[in-house]
Structure 1
Amino acid sequence: MKLTANLSLMYTELPFLQRFAAAHNDGFGAVEIQFPYDTPIEQIQQALSENNLRCVLINVPAGDLMEGGEGLAAVPGKTAEYAAAMVECLYYARALKVSCVNVLPGRCNDENKRVFYLDTFKKNLLKTAESLAPFGITITFEAINTRDMPGFLISTGQQMLDIIAELNHPAIKAQFDIYHMALMGHNVCDFINLHAAKIGHIQFADIPKRGEPGSGTLDFPSIFRCIETSGYKGWVGAEYKPTRTTSMTMQWKRDLAVNVALCS
């Protein structure tokens, strides 16, 4: 597997720009950043270069989503704001040479408006793909569990598959987050095996508290074997909330390395 460390959730005991060296020291060759926009591009580029890392994924700015709001991508009255966010994202994505850009659907707080929010989201997702795909960037979007984010517009794997089928754009794929989908009751191995070709990025954390593998109830040795044998060729992002100092939570990574050596 091609592993990446999510620097937005991991190594948060360190200032942001120091997290790159910590990830490198733990053996990661790549990182992902949810929202890099508060840090000048030149500083991120320097941190990547100094630590022999690549950045593989960022999110389009999501407005007030992380503060409990509806976000940008699906709100009918925020299409201009989303367009501006997409331009800012493209600037960072090209400079950092990312392979994926993730679009967060956001919330719909009024169920009666859900159909309009879905329509807006699909239009924005397609526009994003048309704008970024010419630069070799895959556009992903993800389902998020409704326990952590009530009202989230897309919360199941089937909803993602339906949108991918409807839009039928080669650059639009699912971001499959094992933590969110396991909480929603999905059999994550079945989904990955059946739909590997429609997945553009995978992320993982254990349930129920989003800690590192081994901190909860998921069978990660089986899940990792599933990913390796499924035909999925993309990156696999560690996106968990460490229960201890991040570097002390890497037993799963050492176990994975041993298992790969034994099987090779």
Structure 2
Amino acid sequence: MSYTLNCSILLTELPINQRAEAAKQAGFDSVEFWWPFATAVPSDKQVDEFVSSIKNAGVQLDGLNFFAGDMPAGDRGLVSWVGRSAEFRENVDVVAAIGEATGCKSFNALYGNRLAESTAQAQDALALENLLVAAGGIERIEGTVLIEPVSGTEAYPLKTAAEALDVVTKVKEAGKNNIALLADFYHLAVNGDDVPQVIESHAKEFGHIQIADAPGRGAPGTGDLPLLAWIERSRQLGYTGKVALEYKQDAQTAFQWLATAGANAS
């Protein structure tokens, strides 16, 4: 089974530019990150240091988020945030440059929370415009924009696969096909979606899979979700991508389940 390690939620004991090497030491050849900088447009030096950390570790960057605002403060993306389009669009160029330098092809665009000062209609119209810009910006590197349902934030409007797929469909109808659902089994399950049915209906067109167990958002086996069965069924139905480990656990115990599950990191 082919896994990629999310180094923004795991290995947080280490500075960001040491995590790729730690992932390699833990047996992973593939990593992904949320946006690893505090701003939409970091300095060239910051970008170079991040890219070098990936290359020096000898791992493949297989996933990267667009800048999503201040995540610890509750922000969940700029895509639909009226008043921050320029910031998002400037970020697209940086994301594309990192993708070109690392060979990364998958880029998660968090939709953004609903805003009291904007209407849902205005936000959705802006989101469509921004997603078209994002998809166009990464076309030249054969990149795909990912749209993710998210739990834990009431103001975030995409909570089910159907809601995210509606956005995907609108972007495709507007002319860009390099966009797909990010099926995070944890978020979907916590939000009450019918994960087995989502898999049966859409596995072949998943752009990416992420996993964590529930309750608790820990490693597989710490909760009640049949994650390995869901992954296996997704593959039976045509999903060929990697599966991202995006759960919260200390580095000492985070990967013990791989041995007991008869799986391995690569």
2:168 to 164, 169, 178: 164
Q: Runs of 4+ in structure 1 displaced over 4 angstroms?
A: none
> Which runs of no fewer than 5 residues in structure 2 stay unpaired?
39-44
Letter in 2 for 1:252: W
2:111 is aligned, of 79, 90, 105, to 105
Q: 1:107–1:151: 8 Å Cα contact kept in structure 2?
A: yes
Matches within 5 A, 1:110-125: 110=116, 113-125=119-131
SS at match of 1:40: helix
Query: Any residues of structure 2 matched to 1:84-163 within 5 Å, and which?
Result: 84-110=90-116, 113-145=119-151, 148-163=152-167
What is the correspondence of 1:1-264 to structure 2 with a 5 Å cutoff? 1-37=1-37, 40-69=46-75, 71-110=77-116, 113-145=119-151, 148-168=152-172, 169-242=176-249, 245-258=250-263
User: Using the alignment, how far apart are the partners of 2:46 and 2:143 within structure 1?
Assistant: 21
Runs of at least 5 residues in structure 1 that lack an aligned partner in the other structure: 260-264
Structure-2 separation of matches of 1:180 and 1:81: 27
Any idea what SS the aligned residue of 1:248 has? coil
Structure 2 CA distance, aligned partners of 1:221 and 1:71?
Answer: 29
**Distance of 2:258 and 2:132 partners within structure 1:** 36
Q: How many aligned residue pairs are there?
A: 256
> Equivalents in 2 of 1:199, 1:23: separation in Å?
25
Once residues 111 and 202 of structure 2 are traced to their aligned partners in structure 1, the CA distance between those partners, rounded to angstroms, is: 20
Structure number with the higher helix fraction is 1
- Alignment TM-score, normalising by the size of structure 2: 0.88
Q: Any idea what the Cα deviations from partners look like across 1:47-88, whole Å, max 9, x if unmatched?
A: 323332100111111223542246421022222122112222
Q: Identity of paired residues, percent?
A: 29
For normalisation by structure 1, the TM-score amounts to 0.88
Q: CA deviation at 1:14?
A: 2.1
Asked whether the 8 Å contact 2:186–2:213 carries over to 1, the reply is: yes
RMSD value, Cα:
2.2
CA shift, 1:112, in A, is 7.0
3-state SS of 2:132 partner: helix
Q: Secondary structure at the match of 2:3?
A: strand
